[in-house]
Structure 1
Amino acid sequence: MTVVIPEFDYQRVAVADDVTLNVAVGGTGSPIVLLHGFPQTHVMWRHVAVDLAGDHTVIVPDLRGYGASDKPEAVDRATYAKRTMAADVVALAGALGHERFALAGHDRGALVAIRAGLDHPTRISHLASLDVLPTLDMWDVLHGSTAAVAFHLYLMAQPPGLPEEMISASADAFFGYFLDLWVRDPQAIAADVRAEYLRASREAVASIVADYRASADIDIEHDRVDRAAGNRLTMPVTVVQQDWGAALGFDAAALWRTWADDLTHRTTSAGHFMAEEAPDEIIMVLRSMLTR
């Protein structure tokens, strides 16, 4: 780990029998946990975290399987289920002394945050999701030639073996492709940060693929059970997305309203890596959420 969040303290926290997370903690005040996306680490929150630490306790982990956190072998379908990863986050906050906390996630981290909100509603005071749809809806809206934008979802959904071999053979090209394609301002991800993302991802191919494979399998099952039972996100929810609906032909806000009782939904002109491209906007959005 060569890039860190300035003035944050780093520690390792055990969250399960076989998993310890790398976590940066800074600030004082009401707690908020920030979860990173793909193909990144906790460092993606570096601008936002420093600002929020002015009046909040900010907890920024690497998810299991990513960055400097442990990467257990996927011994069964549940190892990288978002339910398991959400339990990690709740255990992490509890170990740091916070029984109730706000939670914001980007990309993969947002899927973990959504599952935490559904599974642990009394623990999550506010929830923010950056640039994803809930898993069940994500798969439902992908169809026809437009699904080509999500080719990596289908690749990593395949049985163990081939995806890991293909990605490992060209890891920097694979992960770098998304860092280049999904950013609108190339200057937003500095060379040292990009190198850190590539190094961390190169060392985590098996666990990253297992995370994605779970989202094409057990995570869908969990979402279907919740939808059938009418389970919803009961805390204030803020969603920030690129305007996918215009491109792919669906109403993202309407999909989110089927999950969230108290929803604020907005689109952004920033690219996918919005916490790095437009940190002032994301800071404003999160601060506004925390007052609801």
Structure 2
Amino acid sequence: MAPAIAGFTYERIPVADGVSLNAAVGGAGSPIVLLHGFPQTHLMWRHVATDLAADHTVICPDLRGYGASDKPAEAGGATYAKRTMAADIVALARALGHERFALAGHDRGALVAFRAGLDHPATITHLACLDVLPTLDMWEVMRGRSAAIGFHLYLMAQPPGLPEQLIGASPDAFFGHFLDLWANDPRAIPADIRAAYLEACRGAVPSIVADYRASAGIDVDHDQADRQAGNRPAMPVTVLQQDWGAALGFDAAALWRTWAPDLRHVTVTCGHFMAEEAPADVVEALRELLTR
């Protein structure tokens, strides 16, 4: 039997023309949507979701292009623009009866959540972003030898063809590399969950590459337009990060403060997969956020 979030029900919900998202839904109370990162699926939230479901309606979708959600063919940058993916999440919540909701994302999901906070300020009540920088800032600070840690960003930014061919030739080695490298505690991702992540990624190479390609193009354009216009998320924002900002030579908290006027920035002692490695810390931060 495939892994699932205990006690949650699963639905496929249409969110755009020809695109439905797979979503796990559980609990009751004020809604919060949790968005996964790379190279994962909604299962990364399995510990956090069950805790929050004690007093919240918790919605954990697979993003467009990932997991069991639909994977439309890339037709220009807009197909996997974070603006498009954020609109998916707003449509998903609305289909479940929620016009306003809190939103938390990790890694790629955090970029989608951040874009939702910018594009849908009347809809997103609270925003949490885990272990990521806004796209524009990420490209501005990645330089020199330290940029080697982000080699995959540059690989998947290339025009269609070569990245898909290279990654598709050995997907388990490629995606497994990040599961191994970014986890301080490998026990946090047990064998059945790891296998589920690899299986999902194996079947989604073109769409995952398209998601990253968009972040080297149209997503930067959207962030630049917002920066020039002074557009910032007005809702309370919590950012959880490892101490990788100092290691790479920049102040991550300072970068986030330029975007978020109501910010709580927290350094978490764990690897990248903090919802799996330090779920109690993540739950505590999200619960604090929801009181603001």
TM-score between the two structures when normalised by the length of structure 2: 0.99
Question: How far has the Cα of 1:76 moved from its partner?
Answer: 1.6
- Secondary structure of residue in 2 paired with 1:14: strand
Residue 210 of structure 2 is aligned to residue 178 of structure 1: no
**Unaligned segments of structure 2, at least 5 residues:** none
Question: How far has the Cα of 1:267 moved from its partner?
Answer: 0.7
Q: Hey, what does 1:66 align to over in structure 2?
A: 66
Question: How far has the Cα of 1:261 moved from its partner?
Answer: 1.1
Residue 74 of structure 2 is aligned to residue 91 of structure 1: no
Q: Counterparts of 1:233 and 1:264 in 2: how far apart (Å)?
A: 13
What percent identity do the matched residue pairs reach?
75
For 1:70, give the aligned amino acid. D
Q: Hey, what does 1:164 align to over in structure 2?
A: 164
Q: Hey, what does 1:105 align to over in structure 2?
A: 105
Q: Counterparts of 2:37 and 2:245 in 1: how far apart (Å)?
A: 21
Q: Counterparts of 2:217 and 2:243 in 1: how far apart (Å)?
A: 27
Question: How far has the Cα of 1:2 moved from its partner?
Answer: 1.1
Q: Hey, what does 2:228 align to over in structure 1?
A: 228
- Secondary structure of residue in 1 paired with 2:199: helix
Residue 198 of structure 2 is aligned to residue 201 of structure 1: no
After the TM superposition, which residues 139-154 of structure 1 pair with which residues of structure 2 at under 5 Å, given as runs? Answer: 139-154=139-154
After the TM superposition, which residues 252-263 of structure 1 pair with which residues of structure 2 at under 5 Å, given as runs? Answer: 252-263=252-263
After the TM superposition, which residues 276-287 of structure 1 pair with which residues of structure 2 at under 5 Å, given as runs? Answer: 276-287=276-287
Q: Counterparts of 1:77 and 1:206 in 2: how far apart (Å)?
A: 13
For 1:45, give the aligned amino acid. W
Q: Hey, what does 2:243 align to over in structure 1?
A: 243
Deviation string 1:21-51 (CA, Å, 9 cap, x unpaired) is 0000000000000000000000000000000
Runs of 4 or more consecutive aligned structure 1 residues displaced over 3 Å after TM superposition: none
Question: How far has the Cα of 1:228 moved from its partner?
Answer: 0.2
- Secondary structure of residue in 2 paired with 1:92: helix
Instruction: Report which stretch shifted further, 39-48 or 239-248.
Output: 239-248
- Secondary structure of residue in 1 paired with 2:77: coil
For 2:28, give the aligned amino acid. T
Q: Hey, what does 2:291 align to over in structure 1?
A: 291
Q: Hey, what does 1:211 align to over in structure 2?
A: 211
- Secondary structure of residue in 1 paired with 2:149: helix
Q: Counterparts of 2:273 and 2:106 in 1: how far apart (Å)?
A: 8
Question: How far has the Cα of 1:63 moved from its partner?
Answer: 0.1
Q: Counterparts of 2:122 and 2:27 in 1: how far apart (Å)?
A: 24
Deviation string 1:83-131 (CA, Å, 9 cap, x unpaired) is 0000000000000000000000000000000000000000000000000
For 1:263, give the aligned amino acid. L
For 1:209, give the aligned amino acid. V
For 2:159, give the aligned amino acid. P
Q: Counterparts of 2:122 and 2:270 in 1: how far apart (Å)?
A: 32
Alignment coverage as a number of residue pairs: 292
- Name the Cα RMSD after superposition: 0.6
- Secondary structure of residue in 2 paired with 1:239: strand
- Secondary structure of residue in 2 paired with 1:226: helix
Q: Counterparts of 1:105 and 1:224 in 2: how far apart (Å)?
A: 21
Q: Counterparts of 1:285 and 1:266 in 2: how far apart (Å)?
A: 8
Q: Counterparts of 1:238 and 1:90 in 2: how far apart (Å)?
A: 20
Question: How far has the Cα of 1:53 moved from its partner?
Answer: 0.2
**Unaligned segments of structure 1, at least 5 residues:** none
TM-score between the two structures when normalised by the length of structure 1: 0.99
- Secondary structure of residue in 2 paired with 1:245: helix
Q: Counterparts of 2:118 and 2:90 in 1: how far apart (Å)?
A: 12
Deviation string 1:56-79 (CA, Å, 9 cap, x unpaired) is 000000000000000000012100
Question: How far has the Cα of 1:236 moved from its partner?
Answer: 0.2
Q: Counterparts of 1:281 and 1:269 in 2: how far apart (Å)?
A: 9
For 2:125, give the aligned amino acid. S
After the TM superposition, which residues 113-152 of structure 1 pair with which residues of structure 2 at under 5 Å, given as runs? Answer: 113-152=113-152
